[in-house]
Every structure is written in C-alpha cells, then in structure tokens.
Amino acid sequence: MTRRRWIADEVTGDTAALVGDHAAHLARVLRAEVGQEFDIATGTEGRREVRRGTITSISDDRVEFVLGNRRKQESGLLKPTARITLALAIFRFDRMEWAIEKCTELGVSRIIPVIARRSDAHLAAAAVKRHDRWQRLVRQAAEQSRRSAAPEIAAPVKLKGLAGVLPEGGSIRVVLAESLAEPEADSRLREILQSRLSEAGVALAIGPEGGWADEELEWFRATGWVAASLGDTILRAETAAIVATALALEALR
C-alpha cells in the first residue's frame, strides 16, 4: 500500500513537523496516531528528498515525526529542463484555482498570477488576499500527487511587472494567443517547444477570459515572448493552462 505523503513545514536533522492547519488536518480530520508512518518530503523542488516518517507526538496544531530511511529513487537533483513557469492571468477564482491545482499535479515549478487588462477589477483587487489560500492549495495538490515539494506561487503582479519576477536563464517564453493574425508553420505550441528543446525551461503565459488584449500581445512580443496557439478551437482559460502545461512537460522530457 502506498503511504500518504506530507511536505514538512519544519525539518531539523532527523526530525520533522507539520504545523498549524497543516497539522490539524492530519490530527483531527484523519485522526492520526503516534506510531503511524508516512512519507515525508523534506527537500526542496530543486533537490528532492523523501524519507519515511514515524509520528512521535500529536497536538491540534503540531505533528512531529522521527525520520528514517530515504527513498533512493526520489533523491537527487531535478533536471533543469523540468522547470515550467506558468504566468496565469487572473479570472474567476473557482475556475482559476482548479487550473492552479491541476497544473500543480502535472508538475509546474512556479505559478505567477497576472493582473491583465481583461481581469475583472474586483477579482484583481481580491487576488492579493487570496495568496495564502493559493499557497495552501498548491501544497495540498503537491502532496496529493506525491511531489517532493510544492511549486512556488508568487504574489499577483501587473503584466509589466512580470519581467521582474520571471526566473533567469534561457527559458522559452511562450504567450498563448487565441488567434494569430499571421499564423506561421511553427505557431502551434507543440511545434515551438519541439524546435527549442535545448532551452533550459519554459515560461507559459495564459490569458484571462477573452484572451490577452492586443497591446498586451505587443508587449509580450517586444519583450522576447513567442506567440503560439493550441489549435483552431478556442479553449477556456483553465483548459488552456492544463493543455499547455501537459504539452510542455511532454516536449521537455
């Protein structure tokens, strides 16, 4: 039977702990007991380390583990080509959060919420207060999908601030456009990714409902992004995010 995985909040030597609401879920909802064993992820997304953890103490806001053997098949460095950054325009929260959850399960390494011109003003204003919720969401999704660390989820930024928070390096930067005024042979996302496999990673920009405004697409092009489509059909924003992430993962394996 596969053990459930938890991402430790605190690690000191051969001990680890879950704290706060994270611990409360294990202690009160799942009714954990001293002596139970789980897989405990103690590393970072850049360096995986998963160890067997045995519960040594439980309270409502803290669960402590003693750490045992490492899982050898999950130790070591991630390949740099596994880095996928998702710049996701802010749209209706229930659908946006579904996309965040599923893209986390697929394996994105970073998510940047973007305030786009067509993002609803009330949602854009509320997004800053949503950041803690999104951090909990990606951690839960990472644990459910047995990742060794949750992706980073940045605080919301306006489009022109995106350049300042993107990871450095030779990533392919692709903005998804619903339609391309002058389609080229390699304008499909799959073809663009397959033609640039030597790059260090991928940054994908997914627009809000209605897509990116024309001036936003011009900004992307002016700052080195490549415009691409997912085909002839128009996908909802959350669907586009998931499809694009899956294509990027497949191309960069």
Mean pLDDT of all residues in 16-45: 87
The residue ranges of DSSP E strands in the chain, in sequence order, are 5-7, 10-12, 15-19, 37-41, 47-48, 50-59, 62-70, 76-77, 84-89, 110-115, 152-153, 157-158, 172-176, 202-206, 226-228
**Of the listed ranges 88-92, 158-162, 193-197, the one predicted with least confidence:** 193-197
Binned at pLDDT 50, 70 and 90, residue 106 comes out as very high
**Domain ranges within the chain, ordered by starting residue:** 5-76, 80-251
User: How confident is the model over 208-235, as pLDDT tens digits?
Assistant: 988 999 999 999 999 999 999 888 788 8
Tell me which of 197 and 246 has the higher pLDDT.
246
Q: Does residue 178 have a pLDDT over 80?
A: no
**Is-contact 82 185, C-beta < 8 A?**
no
**Of the listed ranges 160-174, 182-196, 239-253, the one predicted with least confidence:** 182-196
| CATH code matching the domain that covers 80-251, chosen among 2.60.40.10, 3.40.50.10860, 3.40.1280.10, 3.40.1790.10 | 3.40.1280.10
Class of domain 5-76: mainly beta
Q: Does residue 49 have a pLDDT over 90?
A: no
User: How confident is the model over 185-205, as pLDDT tens digits?
Assistant: 457 888 888 777 655 689 999
Q: What pLDDT sits at residue 75?
A: 43
Q: What pLDDT sits at residue 214?
A: 92
Mean pLDDT of all residues in 149-176: 87
Q: What pLDDT sits at residue 240?
A: 94
- For the chain, give the mean pLDDT: 86
Mean pLDDT of all residues in 47-74: 85
User: How confident is the model over 108-138, as pLDDT tens digits?
Assistant: 999 999 999 999 999 999 999 999 999 999 9
Tell me which of 73 and 246 has the higher pLDDT.
246
How many CB atoms are closer than 10 A to CB 31? 9
Cα gap 227→239, rounded to integer Å: 18
Do 5-76 and 80-251 come out as alike in CATH topology? no
